[in-house]
């Protein structure tokens, strides 16, 4: 698999994993949750991968920053409180991180 193919695969996998967490925790309209998962991760995932691969090789710092950014996006897009948004963001990013580490090493 080429580097570009692995980035696309990682993005698709992240969208699906985080959508599953969104649906399990928020339980709103599934197509809307999938759309927001795709929008949020289409912004944060490529940015994360660029910074991680070319600028700052600190996985946990970057993942924490992504979770924080996604918290604000989740709060405003899904119209939930900050506490719920942070919980959803933390769970979604933890799940995608652990699965990503298992697959990509």
User: 3 phi and psi, to 5 degrees?
Assistant: -60, -45
pLDDT by residue (tens digit) across 20-62?
999 999 998 999 999 999 999 999 999 999 999 999 999 999 9
The answer to whether 66 and 46 are in contact (CB under 8 A) is: no
Instruction: Note the pTM of the prediction, 2 decimals.
Output: 0.93
pLDDT at 47: 95
Q: What is the pLDDT of the chain when averaged over all its residues?
A: 95
Question: 71: pLDDT confidence band, cut at 50, 70 and 90?
Answer: very high
Largest alpha-carbon pair distance within the chain?
40
**11: closest CA among 31, 52, 40, 51?**
40
Domain locations along the chain: 3-104
Indicate the burial class of 81 (C-beta count within 10 angstroms; 0-12, 13-18, 19 or more).
Answer: exposed
Question: 99: pLDDT confidence band, cut at 50, 70 and 90?
Answer: very high
């Amino acid at each position: 698999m080429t580097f570009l193919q692995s980035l696309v695969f990682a993005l698709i996998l992240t969208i699906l994993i985080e959508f599953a967490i969104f649906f399990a925790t928020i339980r709103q309209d599934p197509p809307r949750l999938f759309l927001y998962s795709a929008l949020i991760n289409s912004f944060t995932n490529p940015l994360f991968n660029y910074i991680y691969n070319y600028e700052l090789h600190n996985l946990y710092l970057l993942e924490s920053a992504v979770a924080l950014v996604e918290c604000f996006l989740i709060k405003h897009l899904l119209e939930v409180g900050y506490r719920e948004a942070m919980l959803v963001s933390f769970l979604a990013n933890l799940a995608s991180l652990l699965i990503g580490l298992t697959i990509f090493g």
